[in-house]
C-alpha cells in the first residue's frame, strides 16, 4: 500500500507515512470502496425532519415543539418554578403518548413532588414514575431507562448527582443524550446556576446538550411573572423568551406585554405599601 499523499511505500500494517517529509495518516479504504463512497455534496445530502412534540406550553422556546431526540439543560434560581414546569410537561407527555415519564429526583422526596403534583391537579400522576434518588441512585440509570422506556425524562438535578465532580456532570449529560436518541424520548436536565446567573459547571456541559435555557422570576417578588429564556438551541432559534404567570394550578403562558403589565402592577403595589 502506498501513501495517498506522497506515494511513499508504507510498511505492512502501517497507516502513518514513514516519509519524514510527509508523515500523514492514511485511511484504510474498505474493500471495493472509492473516495466518492465516503463523501457527499451538500446539495445531495438528505434533509432530516426534526420530529417534535407540541406541548402548547413551551413550544416557542423549543422551536415549535420539543425535539424528541433532544436534551435540554435547564437552569434557574430556587423558587422560580422549575419543578412545576417539568411536572406540567411530564403530565402533558403522559397525555399525548399514554406512556410513563421518568422523574429522577435527588433534590426532593417523592412525597414532596406528589404534594406539588396534587396542587397542580395533574391528570396523569399514575404515569409519572419517580426515581427515588435522594440518597443516591441505587440502579444503573441506563438500565432504568431501557426497562421503563419513558416518553419523557427529567433529571432533577445533575448538580446534586455529580457533586463537585464537574467532569462527571458532563459524562451524565452525554450518557443521557445517548439514551434519549436510542429511545426517541426527550430529556430535561435541571442544573444549578452560579452567582453570576450562568449555568454551573464546565462549558463542556453546555456543549453536551442540544439546548440551554434559564427559567427565572422576571422581577423581585415571588408573584412576578416568570421568563423562560433560550441561550442555545440546535433545533430552533435563539435567543428566544416565553413568559408565564404562576398560579395555584401551575404556570400559564402570557405575552411579553401582559408580563410587563403584571410586573408594573406589582411594583405599583409595592410602592403603595412602603
33: pLDDT confidence band, cut at 50, 70 and 90? Answer: low
Task: Report the pLDDT value the prediction gives residue 20, as an integer from 0 to 100.
Answer: 87
Domain check: are 162 and 221 in the same one?
A: yes
Domain check: are 185 and 229 in the same one?
A: yes
Residue range(s) defining the domain that contains residue 70: 52-273
Question: Mean pLDDT over all residues of the chain?
Answer: 91
> The CATH number of the domain where 114 resides is what?
3.40.50.300
29: pLDDT confidence band, cut at 50, 70 and 90? Answer: low
Q: Which of 30, 47, 64 is the last residue of a domain?
A: 47
pLDDT above 70: residue 42: yes
Domain check: are 202 and 115 in the same one?
A: yes
Written as nine digits, the cell of 173 is 449529560
Domain check: are 43 and 75 in the same one?
A: no
pLDDT above 80: residue 37: no
Q: How far is CA 65 from CA 27, 73, 97, 129, in A?
A: 41, 16, 15, 23
Task: Report the pLDDT value the prediction gives residue 139, as an integer from 0 to 100.
Answer: 83
> What does the alpha-carbon distance between residue 227 and residue 206 come to, in Å, rounded to a whole number?
20
Domain check: are 80 and 147 in the same one?
A: yes
The pLDDT tens digits for 130-154 are 999 988 887 889 999 999 999 999 9
Domain check: are 23 and 41 in the same one?
A: yes
Domain check: are 39 and 153 in the same one?
A: no
Written as nine digits, the cell of 50 is 426534526
Domain check: are 129 and 205 in the same one?
A: yes
- Report the domain count for the chain: 2
Contact 157, 191 (CB under 8 A): yes
Domain check: are 149 and 35 in the same one?
A: no
Coil vs helix vs strand at 156:
strand
Domain check: are 30 and 56 in the same one?
A: no
Query: How many CA atoms within 13 Å lie on the side-chain side of 245?
Result: 15
Domain check: are 265 and 222 in the same one?
A: yes
Domain check: are 56 and 146 in the same one?
A: yes
Query: How many CA atoms within 13 Å lie on the side-chain side of 28?
Result: 7
The pLDDT tens digits for 157-206 are 998 889 889 899 999 999 999 999 999 999 999 998 887 778 878 789 99
DSSP 212-270: EEEEEESSSSTTSPEEEEEEEETTS-SSEEEEEEEETTEEEEE-HHHHHHHHHHHHHHH
Task: Report the pLDDT value the prediction gives residue 274, as an integer from 0 to 100.
Answer: 58
Amino acid at each position: 500500500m502506498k501513501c495517498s499523499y506522497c506515494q511513499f511505500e508504507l510498511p505492512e500494517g502501517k497507516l502513518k507515512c514513514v516519509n519524514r517529509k510527509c508523515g500523514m495518516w492514511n485511511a484504510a479504504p474498505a474493500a471495493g470502496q472509492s473516495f466518492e463512497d465516503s463523501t457527499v455534496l451538500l446539495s445531495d445530502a438528505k434533509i432530516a425532519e426534526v420530529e417534535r412534540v407540541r406541548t402548547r406550553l413551551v413550544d416557542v422556546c423549543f422551536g415549535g415543539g420539543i425535539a424528541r431526540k433532544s436534551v435540554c439543560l435547564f437552569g434557574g434560581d430556587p423558587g422560580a418554578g422549575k419543578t412545576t414546569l417539568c411536572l406540567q410537561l411530564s403530565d402533558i407527555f403522559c397525555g399525548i403518548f399514554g406512556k410513563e415519564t421518568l422523574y429522577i429526583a435527588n433534590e426532593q422526596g417523592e412525597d414532596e413532588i406528589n404534594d406539588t403534583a396534587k396542587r397542580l391537579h395533574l391528570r396523569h400522576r399514575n404515569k409519572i414514575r419517580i426515581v427515588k434518588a435522594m440518597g443516591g441512585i441505587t440502579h444503573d440509570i441506563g438500565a432504568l431507562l431501557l426497562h421503563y422506556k419513558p416518553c419523557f425524562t427529567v433529571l432533577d438535578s445533575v448538580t446534586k448527582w455529580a457533586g463537585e465532580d464537574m467532569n462527571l456532570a458532563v459524562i451524565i449529560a452525554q450518557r443521557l443524550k445517548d439514551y434519549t436518541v436510542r429511545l426517541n424520548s426527550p430529556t430535561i436536565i435541571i442544573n444549578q446556576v452560579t452567582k453570576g446567573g450562568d449555568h454551573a459547571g464546565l462549558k463542556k456541559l453546555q456543549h453536551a446538550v442540544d439546548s440551554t435555557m434559564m427559567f427565572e422570576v422576571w422581577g423581585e417578588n415571588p408573584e412576578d411573572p416568570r421568563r423562560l429564556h433560550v441561550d442555545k438551541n440546535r433545533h430552533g432559534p435563539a435567543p428566544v423568551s416565553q413568559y408565564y404567570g404562576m398560579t395555584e394550578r401551575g404556570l400559564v403562558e402570557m405575552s411579553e406585554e401582559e408580563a410587563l403589565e403584571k410586573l408594573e402592577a406589582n411594583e405599583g403595589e409595592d410602592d403603595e405599601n412602603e
